[in-house]
């Protein structure tokens, strides 16, 4: 056991990126020690179940849908916003299940997605330079010296906000709200638009099918509850390490802050702290791969993070950009396929498609998102590998952050409701539209 704990801390000897500068390291150590005594947010058994499900997705027998905010905020952890996001994911999942006739593994970028990697350590406005905003679990977004200073009390607030979020997620998904007989009601409260209307027609078909099966005496316990998993970028080690516990049943280490964690594009160095720490925990883990990833790097990541080739253990989340995916993805798919490894391949069609408008809004074009998704499916069809999931930044609210979609949000409209503190998210309608497009691709698969 001692040896195991030692090895869990080996990352401390390695180069580490994207950590805040804490003004008082002792205060951080004290908070981390306190977090280590708090109850786990997820349980090892659930984590193991998810790994098995992701293994199914890796071999083409299921599909992963992962969505949520770029950066969750403490203020945004309200019942209404959480409910709208869950409803959106549930609606997308219904569209995908119906289109693909295949189980959809549902997962939020939720209940812990509070820490952000940044391209620069500082931000300058006019003649004032302050530390960059690194997410609510580190510092505040307001551009003042006090707010931008890293505050370890935020680690605790992050834990408690994640706990109340996951509590609500569990209540919504286990307590009747996610019952498939509610398929119509998930669509209520959203502005009526073409995607919602298409959804409404689908919901009517599903309703009829359920009523038919009920009349025929089928038992529908399975339809009453939904398994909904949580995931976030495992970035902030002063939080992730104390949330790591040795499971009493198996004596193995699990990160109990989320079912699934991924390593970001900026912290996936083969010899860096993050890859070492993640190689030691049992959770299914993801790694983001950008367009500069070489086939050798992908193979080395597999050897480090999944030496035993456990089904569902490793997910590669590719974020190439619409303009690059058709060149950048095939060599990775081929090299990994030829090595005999079968990670789960997921597309993140958001992070390679960022742009800034002349008016200063960070945005993405819905058409680029769709194009990257299509490129992802094409590349997998050509390589004979399985396109196993989609990872997107979305909200259930009617924000105007991404350009396009059938509502045709244009540059002028971005100003009307732009709420993200970080990257632009698909709004409720754009998310549904995307689900219909992915369902079409899955039908062709």
**Where does this chain bind ligand PEP (CB under 6 A)?**
70, 117, 233, 264-266, 288, 319, 351
Shortest separation between residue 264's beta carbon and ligand PEP, angstroms? 3
117 binds, among Co ion, ligand PEP, none (CB under 5 to 8 A by kind): ligand PEP
Question: Of 387, 420, 388, 382, whose CA–CA distance to 401 is shortest?
Answer: 420
Shortest separation between residue 69's beta carbon and ligand PEP, angstroms? 9
Shortest separation between residue 70's beta carbon and Co ion, angstroms? 3
How far is residue 96's CA from residue 237's CA, in Å, rounded to a whole number? 35
Query: What angle do helix axes 428-444 and 194-215 make, rounded to 10 degrees?
Result: 60
Shortest separation between residue 424's beta carbon and Co ion, angstroms? 9
Which C-beta is closer to Co ion: that of 62 or that of 402?
A: 402
- Provide the greatest CA pair distance for the chain: 72
424 binds, among Co ion, ligand PEP, none (CB under 5 to 8 A by kind): none
Shortest separation between residue 119's beta carbon and Co ion, angstroms? 12
Structure tokens at 321: 């950009």
319 binds, among ligand PEP, Co ion, none (CB under 5 to 8 A by kind): ligand PEP
Contact region for Co ion (CB under 5 A) — 27-35, 69-77, 200-208, 298-306? 69-77
Which C-beta is closer to Co ion: that of 48 or that of 423?
A: 423
Q: DSSP characters for 319-363?
A: ---TTTHHHHHHHHHHHHHHHT--PEEEE--STT--EE-TTS-EE
265 binds, among Co ion, ligand PEP, none (CB under 5 to 8 A by kind): ligand PEP
Shortest separation between residue 67's beta carbon and Co ion, angstroms? 12
362 binds, among Co ion, ligand PEP, none (CB under 5 to 8 A by kind): none
Which C-beta is closer to ligand PEP: that of 134 or that of 313?
A: 134
How far is residue 261's CA from residue 162's CA, in Å, rounded to a whole number? 14
How far is residue 133's CA from residue 115's CA, in Å, rounded to a whole number? 9
Which C-beta is closer to ligand PEP: that of 85 or that of 245?
A: 85
Q: How would you class 181 by CB atoms within 10 Å of its CB: exposed for 0-12, middle for 13-18, buried for 19 or more?
A: middle
- The backbone torsions φ and ψ at residue 354, rounded to the nearest 5 degrees and listed phi first, read -75, 150
Question: How many chain residues interact with Co ion (CB under 5 A)?
Answer: 2
Compose the 415-434 pattern: x for residues touching Co ion by CB under 5 A, - for all others.
--------x-----------
Q: Which residue is nearest to ligand PEP (CB)?
A: 264
Which C-beta is closer to ligand PEP: that of 194 or that of 291?
A: 291
407 binds, among Co ion, ligand PEP, none (CB under 5 to 8 A by kind): none
Torsion sign across C-alpha atoms 246, 249, 252, 255: negative
Shortest separation between residue 70's beta carbon and ligand PEP, angstroms? 5
How far is residue 445's CA from residue 380's CA, in Å, rounded to a whole number? 9
How far is residue 1's CA from residue 295's CA, in Å, rounded to a whole number? 36
238 binds, among ligand PEP, Co ion, none (CB under 5 to 8 A by kind): none
Shortest separation between residue 236's beta carbon and ligand PEP, angstroms? 13
Which C-beta is closer to Co ion: that of 51 or that of 116?
A: 116
Which C-beta is closer to ligand PEP: that of 48 or that of 233?
A: 233
Whole-number Cα distances in Å, 425 to 115, 180, 421, 443? 17, 26, 10, 26
Are 54 and 344 in contact by the 8 Å Cβ rule? The answer is: yes
Question: Of 336, 315, 323, whose CA–CA distance to 391 is shortest?
Answer: 315
The number of angstroms, rounded, from the C-alpha of 102 to the middle of its chain's C-alpha atoms is 20
135 binds, among ligand PEP, Co ion, none (CB under 5 to 8 A by kind): none
Single residue of 31, 44, 57, 70 touching Co ion by CB under 5 A: 70
264 binds, among Co ion, ligand PEP, none (CB under 5 to 8 A by kind): ligand PEP
How far is residue 388's CA from residue 58's CA, in Å, rounded to a whole number? 6
Which C-beta is closer to Co ion: that of 72 or that of 423?
A: 423
Q: Could you report how far apart the first and last alpha carbons of the chain are, in Å? A: 46
Whole-number Cα distances in Å, 195 to 289, 406, 411, 429? 31, 8, 21, 6
Contact positions vs Co ion (CB under 5 A): 70, 423
């Amino acid at each position: 056991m001692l040896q195991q704990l030692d090895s869990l801390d080996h990352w401390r000897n390695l180069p580490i990126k994207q950590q805040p500068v804490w003004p008082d390291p002792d205060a951080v150590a004290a908070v981390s020690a306190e977090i280590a005594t708090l109850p786990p947010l997820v349980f090892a058994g659930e984590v193991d179940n998810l790994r098995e499900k992701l293994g199914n997705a890796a071999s083409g027998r299921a599909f992963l849908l992962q969505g949520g905010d770029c950066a969750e905020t403490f203020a945004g952890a309200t019942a209404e916003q959480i409910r709208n996001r869950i409803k959106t994911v549930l609606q997308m999942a219904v569209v995908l299940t119906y289109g693909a006739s295949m189980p959809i593994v549902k997962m939020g970028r939720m209940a812990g997605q509070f820490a952000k990697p940044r391209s620069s350590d500082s931000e300058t406005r006019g003649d004032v330079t302050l530390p960059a905003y690194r997410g609510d679990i580190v510092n505040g977004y307001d551009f003042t010296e006090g707010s931008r200073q890293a505050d370890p009390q935020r680690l605790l607030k992050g834990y408690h906000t994640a706990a109340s979020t996951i509590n609500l997620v569990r209540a919504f998904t286990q307590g009747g709200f996610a019952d498939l007989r509610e398929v119509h009601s998930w669509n209520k409260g959203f502005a009526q638009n073409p995607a919602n209307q298409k959804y409404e027609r689908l919901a009517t078909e599903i309703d009829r099918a359920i009523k038919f099966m009920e009349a025929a005496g089928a038992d529908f316990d399975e339809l009453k509850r939904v398994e909904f998993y949580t995931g976030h970028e495992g970035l902030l080690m002063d939080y992730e390490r104390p949330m790591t516990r040795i499971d009493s049943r198996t004596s193995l280490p699990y990160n109990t802050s989320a079912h699934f964690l991924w390593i970001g594009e900026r912290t996936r160095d083969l010899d860096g702290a993050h890859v070492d720490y993640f190689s030691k925990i049992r959770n299914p883990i993801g790694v983001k791969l950008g367009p500069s990833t070489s086939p050798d790097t992908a193979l080395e990541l597999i050897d480090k993070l999944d030496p035993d080739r456990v089904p569902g253990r490793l997910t590669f989340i590719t974020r190439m950009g619409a303009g690059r995916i058709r060149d950048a993805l095939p060599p990775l798919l081929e090299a990994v396929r030829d090595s005999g490894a079968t990670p789960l391949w997921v597309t993140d069609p958001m992070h390679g498609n960022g742009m800034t408008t002349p008016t200063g809004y960070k945005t993405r074009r819905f058409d680029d998102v769709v194009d990257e998704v299509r490129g992802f499916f094409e590349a997998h069809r050509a390589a004979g590998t399985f396109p196993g999931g989609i990872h997107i930044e979305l909200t259930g609210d009617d924000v105007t952050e991404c350009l396009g979609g059938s509502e045709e949000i244009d540059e002028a409209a971005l100003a009307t409701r732009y709420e993200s503190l970080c990257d632009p998210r698909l709004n409720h309608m754009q998310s549904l539209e995307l689900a219909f497009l992915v369902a079409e691709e899955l039908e062709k698969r």
